[in-house]
A and B are shown apart, each in its own frame.
Chain A
Amino acid sequence: MTDLRPDPDELLDELRREEEAARRGRLKIFFGACAGVGKTYAMLAAAKARRSEGVDVLVGVVETHGRSETAAMLEGLPVQPPHYLEYKGKRLAEFDLDGALALHPSLILIDEFAHSNVTGSRHPKRWQDVEELLAAGIDVYTTLNVQHLESLNDVVGRITGIVVRETLPDQVFDTADDVALVDLPPDELIGRLNAGKVYLPHQAERAIRNFFRKGNLLALRELALRRTADRVDAQMRAYRANQSIQPVWQARERLLVCVGNRPGGEQLVRSAKRLAASLDADWLVVHVDTPGGPSLTEEERQRLLKVLRLAQELGAETSVLAGSDLASTLLAYARSRNVSKLVVARHRKSALMARIRPSLVDHLSRQAEDVDVYVVAHDLDEDVAGQDKRSNVRSLLFDDVSARRRKQGYVAALLSSALTTGLSALLIQHFELANVIMVYLLAVVMVAVRYGRAAGMLASFLSVALFDFFFVPPRMSFSVSDTQYLLTFVVMLVVSLIISQQTARLRFDARAATFRERRTRVLYDLGRELAGALTGAQIVETAERHIDGLFNGRPVLFVPDGDEHMKKTDPEQGGDEGVAQWVFDNQQAAGRGTNTLPSSPALYVPLKAPMRVRGVLAILLPEGSRGLLPDEVRLLETCAAQIALALERVHYVEVAQDAIVAMESERLRNSVLATVSHDLRTPLTTLVGMASLLENDSLDHTRRHELARSINSEAQRMSRLVTNLLDMARLQSGVKPDKQWQYLDEVIGSVLREMGGRLAGHALSLDMADDLPLVNIDEVLLERVLVNLLDNACKYAPKSSTIQLTVRHEEDVVRVSVRDDGPGWPAHLANSMFDKFTRGSNESATPGVGLGLAICRGIVEAHGGRISAENAVPQGAIVTFTLPVETPPAVPE
């Protein structure tokens, strides 16, 4: 412990906090012991001071409660009008969050931080509105009484006898940038009250006067002072850690709290929170599902979920575990999470019960050697009502045996008992009574294994009764002549009960294991398939397929479009794009079970990837669903993170591909410029040179004639080049062939006429089949193909060699090939000569930019044909293209 370096994790934490704080607005809380101490007044005074400094101040909500001093302070400050919400026929004023966000002042005043919003607002609580304002970079001043702090809520309730329903999570209070304590000695407060400076609503006057007793006020003042002091202390410690004044190198404590289904769980959680805060420890709250306990009523189930939610709000990590033994499950979890302290509640029990059934505390203290066990007293002042409303829920984690199956179990117990009795009636003629009872035992075990504990128990009792009635003398009576049989009954009953219990436990374990295994498998499969996904659509499909059925609802994915607007991947599905948009923008979950729009029928979680949010995953819950448990939420978040990572990966693959395409087109552009400038400059140079030669008068007539002819042919060459460039441009802009039914020989005829002089140096051998059908082609485009192919042949074939043009009709195509006696295609080109600007050899004397074949391919493919090139034997090049043959319209003779 001599190392004086600050903890690097803490430094990073500090940095992150500072960064976040720079973007966020600052929150200042004017904190007081109770109403009437002058918080609102102090807040307004501070705001006025800021306004005089030129800060843009807006009053969001300020309650003057009719106090004239406060109302006077309000003068001169701009006040935002409230907006009104219809609720149960009443028109209720509420803070206008969207209005404030739109106005975007530098500082906004929001009175009564713990206020609950009117149902139908975006957030149920006002502090959540404030969170959004802060996130938008707006500074907020607000006021708060100590009794509204969540963790002190019960303490204040016990002191004053009034339990406040509007509470604020301590987390929010602790992370506020500034807390200013507004303090007033109790005597002065009572004096102000008596002087009428604190307005009291008439009807509640007595109750409130009761509240403002000096004893209460003293206690509240102490609470407020101490809470503020705690905060200052925490700040001091943070400062010391930061400045490395004293090394803080100790491993953080971790607390594990176990809550059951009994009332008083909220108190236990609050106590644990105070304990965790005083120890500066992380804390976890768990509930353990066991097969042994009684069935949960719907009431108990709701209460348990509420306790877990409260724990989450107070900053705990919550979880629901499943295991057949409470103590060992709890300890195993504690060890796996490195928990140093276990907190459990002690319940009042009679001395006898305590002896017969040892409590959890006893179990724990026997098994827990490495974990401290804290026992918190539990006073059951919360009313226990609705015990009679038993439902068939036993497990929080998975839906228990259905009512139908349970009935089946009872029927099976009845049937098997009857059958066994029938069988025994036969057996009794050959076997001893003591052996026959074994058959009953076997039947009970089978029922218990198949249908669970309840059916097993029913079968046990039935078996004993039937055995007694039918087989134990005197027969056909429940009376027993030989007392020895009583022992038989007891042993049989106990054995069958134990077996039922054990098999039920085994079944539970097996189900829990299957349940966990299924989740693990889904995560594993999801991860594996996402890793293989290449497109966003694949990821969406994979994700929806795997998540469907994992939770008690259907999944819907939202991804942003080009304008960052959320769009459903499947428009058929439900789900609100507006909520998804909010989740995407705020990077926070919303919907059922969260703080934003908790009454929504779906839960929305952001798909957070390392670089940014990639979309939103929603689970549409069915009507009346219980919502998601903490573990399920975590599982959902894990899935969301995996999907987000996959989406981000695909995104960057696309970015990389775009970059490659851009590089490729850059390369192509350069090669275009190089070849075009070469091929245009060459004939131009010739033209300019020859034209200036012509100006020379001393040339004789023949020489002039030759020059004119050369100029003509060079110009024709350029014309062809320009035509090809234009054709290519036209093809690239996506020209549609204007197809007409016609004979290919007609096109060939006009091509040969156009080629005319250019072919002169070569012999052309035309080989056309007689059975050529009508083809559906664009003659103008096809003419370009033939001209280019023949031009190419003329260019590369030696003078006075033969060029072969062959046209054949083969089944469903017409095949046209052009063959020359030239050097053939260079081997390295393979089929890349059909790419743009590809030539046999660079900068060769043979003119042309290598566009011809690319144009040919474009046109032939637009006609649904194919083009290919090969070398002829013994030498020469062949280009062949096909055109599909369809059925032409009938032509009358």
Chain B
Amino acid sequence: MTHDSRVNVVIIEDESSIREFLTTLLEGEGLAVFEADTARRGMIEVETRKPDLVILDLGLPDMDGVEVIRRLREWTQVPILVLSARNLEISKVAALDAGAEDYLTKPFGVAECMARIRVLLRRQVRGSAAPAQIVRFGSVSVDLVSRQVLKNGEPVHLTPIEYRLLAALIQHAGRVMTHRELLRTVWGPSFSESHPYLRVYMGHLRQKLEDVPAMPRHILTETGVGYRLQETSDSMNG
């Protein structure tokens, strides 16, 4: 994958204290970190270091974060993790739709941050390997070849749309999927605008797969952004 055995991460963030915290954290995990305090500098770093992950702050002094994502996506598929403040759901969605993989809301804790990074790096690794035939989360197991869904060993009947939704979430397991992304994947490119169908079918899916639908542990709602399939239920972080 890279010339070095170590995993390279480029952090583009203008706040030095956040940069410092992330560097300390990631280097402690054994990653190689390269810092940039402007978008311009950051893009040069991405070009020269060929990183496995880019952590990008949306509020940069010299360029709009969404614009940075767009330019990077012109030539690289490196995973991008976006840092953003709360109350800015619209800019999160814009960043995700522009090609970012996932986001972290400031302020965030170590556990949350590492969980996101691990998901993104794992996908990068798995990119070359064949996808698993059977996916499990909680008491649910999904056979992607035979399209069979079991809960506590009992078969669960899913409508074709419900199944396509579940498959889309599984394909991006651990990562957030925006409403638009899901609509496009499941219903086709003409359904790119937000739509009540999605929430209704997501509700059905929860009813069928979650133990307590009102307190879901796997099919999670990212308020104002989209949905995320959480395979492990242990990372309830606060």
Q: Which residues of A contact B (CB under 8 A)?
A: 712, 715-716, 719, 723, 726-727, 730, 740-743, 745-750, 752-758, 766, 768, 774, 779-780, 783, 888-889, 891-893
Contacts and interface: CB of A to CB of B under 8 A. Distances in A.
Contact of B215 (A726, A766, A891): A766
Interface string B87-108: 1010000000000000000010
Contacts of A755: 238
Contacts of A726: 86-87
A687 to B, nearest CB: 13
Contacts of A749: 213-216, 220-221
A750 B226 CA distance: 11
A756 B214 contact: no
Contacts of A774: 196, 199-200
A779 B202 contact: no
Interface of B: 86-87, 89, 107, 109, 159, 194, 196-197, 199-200, 202-203, 206, 213-216, 220-224, 236-238
Contacts of A712: 109
A758 B87 CA distance: 20
Interface of A is mostly: helix
Contact of A779 (B87, B197, B220, B224): B224
A740 B194 CA distance: 8
Contact of A757 (B196, B200, B222, B238): B238
Contacts of A723: 86-87
Q: Which 8 A-B pairs have the closest CB atoms?
A: A757-B238, A741-B196, A756-B238, A780-B224, A742-B199, A750-B221, A745-B214, A891-B200
Contacts of A888: 196
Given A712-B109, A715-B107, A745-B213, A740 B196 contact: yes
Given A746-B199, A749-B214, A779-B223, A758 B194 contact: no
Given A743-B203, A774-B196, A766 B223 contact: no
B215 A780 contact: no
Contacts of B206: 746
Contacts of A746: 199, 202-203, 206, 221
Contact of B196 (A742, A752, A754, A783): A742
B207 to A, nearest CB: 10
A719 B107 contact: yes
Most chain A CB within 10 A, of B89, B107, B194, B221, is at B221
Contacts of B203: 743, 745-746
Contacts of B109: 712
Nearest to A892: B197
Contacts of B238: 716, 754-758
Contacts of A730: 87
15 contacts: A712-B109, A716-B107, A746-B202, A746-B203, A750-B221, A750-B223, A756-B238, A757-B238, A766-B214, A766-B215, A774-B196, A783-B223, A888-B196, A891-B197, A892-B197
Nearest to A766: B214
Contacts of A780: 89, 223-224
A783 B224 CA distance: 10
Contacts of A753: 215, 220, 236
A756 B224 CA distance: 19
A756 B215 CA distance: 11
Nearest to A742: B199
Contact of B223 (A716, A747, A756): A747
Contacts of A727: 87
B220 A750 contact: yes
A285 B146 CA distance: 114
Contacts of B222: 750
B87 A889 contact: no
Contacts of B159: 893
Contacts of A716: 107, 238
A743 B221 contact: no
Contacts of A768: 214
Contacts of B199: 740-743, 746, 774
Contacts of A742: 196, 199
B215 A752 contact: yes
Given A758-B238, A891-B196, A748 B214 contact: yes
A756 B235 CA distance: 11
A754 B86 CA distance: 13
Most chain B CB within 10 A, of A727, A748, A758, A780, is at A780
Contacts of B89: 780
Contacts of A715: 107
Nearest to A749: B216
Nearest to A713: B238
Nearest to B222: A750
Nearest to A748: B214
A530 B196 CA distance: 55
A756 B220 CA distance: 14
A719 B87 CA distance: 12
